[in-house]
Amino acid sequence: MESIRRLVLLALTGVFLITNLANAQDDQQGFISLDCGMPHNEPSYIEETTGLKFSSDSGFIRSGKSGRTNNEDPRLGMSNIKPYKYLRYFPEGILRNCYNLTVMQGTHYLIRAVFVYRNYDDLKQRPIFDLYLGPNFWITINLQEEFGSVDRFWRTDGKVEDIIHMPKSNFMDICLVKTGTTTPFISTLELRPLRDDTYTTKTGSLMLFNRWYFSNSESFVRYPDDVHDRLWDTYFSDELTQINTTTTVNTTNAFDLPQAIVSKASIPKDAGKSWSRRWSMQSTDDVHVYLHFAEIQALKPNDTREFSILWNEKTINHNYSPLEFMVDTVPIRTSTKCDDSCYLELVSTTSSSLPPSLNAMEVFGVLQLPQSETDENDVTAFKNIQAFYKLQKMSWQGDPCVPTQYMWTGLNCSNMLPSIPPRIISLDFSYYGLNGTISSDIQYLSQLQKLDLSNNNLTGRVPEFLAKLKLLTVINLSGNNLSGSIPETLRNMENNGLTLILRGGNKNLCLDPSCESEAGDGKNKKKWLVPILASAASVGITTAIILLIILFYRRKKRSSKDIRPSMVVNKRSFTYEEVTVMTNNFEKTLGEGGFGVVYYGNLINNEQVAVKVLSQSSAQGYKQFKAEVDLLLRVHHINLVSLVGYCDEGQHLVLIYEYMSNGNLKQHLSGECASSPLSWANRLRIAAETAQGLEYLHIGCKPPMIHRDIKSMNILLDEHFQAKLGDFGLSRSFPVGSETHVSTNVAGSPGYLDPEYYRTNWLTEKSDVFSFGVVLLEIITSQPVIDQTREKAHIGEWVGFKLTNGDIKSIVDPSLTGDYDSSSLWKALELAMSCVSPSSSGRPNMSQVANELQECLLSENSRKGGSQDVESKSSLALSTSFGPEQTPDAR
């Protein structure tokens, strides 16, 4: 098979000299390179011949053991390439073992899996097993079929599989499935993001048959020569002659071909003949071919190279001429199958003086992936239930419902048609040793027909939310220790065909319908009011805007379980040891505040993070930590800084956030950054993005969240200067027992705090709108929020003062140098002033704010033909470098 030759050549890269290795590591953006089986405590390393950075796979799979090939191959040196020494094998008897990888939804990936057996287990038993992409069959890995002699065993003892695939969600499972008696294993797993405009298909994914470049050299080409790390194999035959050039070929077409490949081409040895190649490949579906051409001979004035391209004897192109010193790719995606063999032929036209030439060619078989993944909300709910009860089953890997033969235990699904995502229709956790209450996430399994939680140690009440599941026909709760009464709504469902089984155990459960009782006890909400120290309050045009260095805190207990599961949950709990590793023993501080220190860190997949270690005193009494964090982990919005994980181990409470490399808005407005000031378009965009994040907290979240601490310092900017709101949701669960915390800005910051909230202690979303208005004023004016040396100390008063005096021009930040669409600016100013209106009824809601800002942004962008925003964004990115104060702001 061709994949064997690929592997042999892969091994040969050991002797292939690579030119620009030094810069290589910087460009591996989005690459995932897993050295499977490498112990988790071994650090990632740079593979010498390619410069690729490999790391352990241990964070991506739960089953399997680490193995190692011992025998070296003196001729090929294959074993000397580090990534193929370790392997992960799966002797435990679990049928399906899956890697779960975090990917970019909708991006095309080249996915490569390598299997080097080399008798690692001393059994001399090369395995056969299946590979799956999510719920869909990919290919059978059969390491037995091609090997005969010992010699071949040594030379070609492995396989490389390569597919171009676009994941439909942010997670992707790649599974090894045991199909016989032999043990599946894997050596490396490599993912490379590709451009979306290159290898496209109407349906299915592209399974590589081969990727040839036509040269008589034996050099294998991959990263760093190929920026996408495609593996290019050479092909040559007696009928061909090589031509080559030292002139640089323009490779700026979408395929980013390496110079090493396009600087060589093949022509027929007999110039009168056509260029042809025939091969057989097993493919029941379509074959796609990509032909890469470049004219690499300096043509004389009377020379022409012109030929027809024939694919399986049908003419695709009648008179094709390669472009001079410029790559051109001809894709063949017509729905043609190869019957017995595939046949490509390039035939000179009569007017051509030169023979046809071809530089490189890729051949793919289309693999259909018909099976949909299980409904995402069901998967999320199930995983939350699993986490709630701390259930861990090794076999719970990959898609819960499909393929049906690997369906997870404890559930059953509807699997009507492959094109329809399966739904979880029954949950059977009988005798699962569950304790605690009945998980509220069960209510989000909206298609549930049967719920069996019998014979566990469940306590608490029979929850009312079960009545939301209208399709339920059986609820079996017998053999538990539930108490209280049965909700009436559930009783009513019994009349509509629900079988509710409660008898057996449950001694404290009142089954008598008459004992509708103390429902709602224990839910009384504690309200804490902790005023600390009052300071200057000044009166301006709007008498109600009051300077606050007074902080309020009202603790409002809410059920953390009322939240709807969002699209994707990436729930991650880390040990303190892992936190130590990810921060490299708390090496680099990003910021410091009342609740602890924020450190820079790196996750195992190289994702950068900001690690907030809560100080001992803040940690004390933070009983709700886990519940609150679970809630925050479920909040996902592009304009909210996501919580990636947490650590809750004894005294150690740690929050792990996504890293925001461009600091916070305040730094940019205050000129703290040595960069050029933000343009008006960028300011508007940041405001609009922030407004959308806040709108989501107010409206998109269930239950809605009030941020309570909107300020420019909490608006963070990622590497693309996209704005994200940080530190939401925490203030309400932090205890404010001691005054030390409050004096360091626990909730609400001076100048941003809503005066009405201060007066009435009645907190609504409109308090956030007020704070957002203050931020908008900062964006427009670049003035400090409070400045005692100004005519009016508070920014809202000051702007009002200027407006009433008709001194409009002096409001606007002079560093904008008049470079703005004034209508968008005045509209934003008007909006800001309405947000800081003293009475909450006079303020717009966040949806209105977000819409207005979007309109401002459109009008500003149309001023310079629409491209303004993008341009200023990239020029900004180039000219900016920032100080150490980064995400999320330490308070």
Binding residues: 612
Binding site for ligand NAG (CB under 6 A): 59, 62, 100, 171, 217, 242, 244, 250, 252, 300, 302, 326, 353, 412, 430, 433, 435-436, 452, 454-457, 459, 474, 476, 478-479, 481, 483, 501, 571-572
Pairing label, strands 643-649, 450-452: unpaired
Instruction: Please report how the helices 765-781 and 680-695 are oriented relative to each other, as an axis angle in degrees rounded to 10.
Output: 170
What is the smallest separation between the CB atom of 211 and ligand NAG, expressed in angstroms? 19
CA distance 705 to 139: 47
How is 256-301 classified by DSSP, letter by letter?
A: ---HHHHTEEEEESSTTSPEEEEE----SS-EEEEEEE-B-S---T
Give the per-residue SS3 of 419-438.
CCCCEEEEEECCCCCCEECC
Please confirm whether the linkage preceding 224 is cis (ω < 30° from 0): yes
315 versus 435: smaller Cβ distance to ligand NAG: 435
Q: 887: helix, coil or strand?
A: coil
Between strands 360-367 and 314-320, the pairing is unpaired
Count CB neighbours of 835 within 10 A: 26
Query: Are 327 and 251 within 8 A, CB to CB?
Result: yes
CB 640 within 8 A of CB 728: yes
What is the 3-class SS of 831-872, one letter each residue? HHHHHCCCCHHHCCCHHHHHHHHHHHHHHHHHHCCCCHHHHH
For ligand NAG, give the closer residue by CB, 362 or 452: 452
Cβ nearer to ligand NAG, comparing 392 with 524: 392
Q: Are 708 and 747 in contact (CB under 8 A)?
A: yes
> Token pair 């699993």 is at which residue?
386
Which CA distances in Å does 163 have to 88, 133, 364, 481?
Answer: 21, 10, 9, 52
Tokens of 761: 């202690």
Q: Name the closest residue to ligand NAG (Cβ).
A: 436
Closest CA to 680 of 836, 833, 873: 873
User: Cα–Cα distance between 819 and 590 in angstroms, integer?
Assistant: 34
CA distance between the termini of the chain: 61
Q: What is the DSSP string of 763-811?
A: --HHHHHHHHHHHHHHHHH---SB-TTSSSSBHHHHHHHHHHTT--GGG
Nearer to ligand NAG, 60 or 770 (CB): 60
Q: How far is the CB of 483 from ligand NAG (least distance, A)?
A: 6
Q: Smallest distance, Å, CB 444 to ligand NAG?
A: 16
Please identify, using beta-carbon distances, which residue of 114 and 451 lies nearer to ligand NAG. 451
Rounded Cα–Cα distance for residues 676 and 515 (Å):
71
Cβ at position 131, least distance to ligand NAG in Å: 18
Q: Which two tokens stand for residue 760?
A: 């009435």
Give the shortest CB-50-to-ligand NAG separation in angstroms. Answer: 21
For the annotated binding site for ATP, the residues are 612
The least CB distance from residue 435 to ligand NAG, in Å, is 4
- Write out the two tokens for 742: 């409050």
| Cβ pair 99, 175 in contact under 8 A | yes
Minimum distance of ligand NAG from residue 379's CB (angstroms): 8
What is the rounded CA–CA span in Å between residue 212 and residue 344? Answer: 13
Contact between 483 and 457 (Cβ < 8 Å): no
> Which string of DSSP letters, residue by residue, matches 454-477?
-SSEE-S---GGGGG-TT--EEE-
Token pair in block for residue 316: 């695709």
How far apart (Å, rounded) are the C-alpha atoms in residues 105 and 333? 24
Half-sphere exposure of 455 (CA within 13 A, CB side): 5
| Residue 196 known to be catalytic | no
Nearest to ligand NAG of 62, 636 (CB atom): 62
User: Residue 859 carries which side chain, given as an amino acid letter?
Assistant: S
Out of 375, 709, 727, 754, the active site residue is 709
Beta strand pairing call for 65-68 and 53-56: unpaired
Q: In Å, how far are 162, 306, 356, 715 from 350, measured between CA atoms?
A: 40, 9, 12, 67
Residues 6+ apart with CB under 8 A from 195: 108, 254, 256
Q: How far is the CB of 477 from ligand NAG (least distance, A)?
A: 8
Q: 185 φ, ψ to 5°?
A: -155, 165
Contact of 76 with 155, CB cutoff 8 Å: yes
Whether residue 513 is preceded by a cis peptide bond, meaning omega within 30 degrees of 0, is no
Provide the token pair at 547.
Answer: 């300077």
Q: Which residues are catalytic?
A: 709
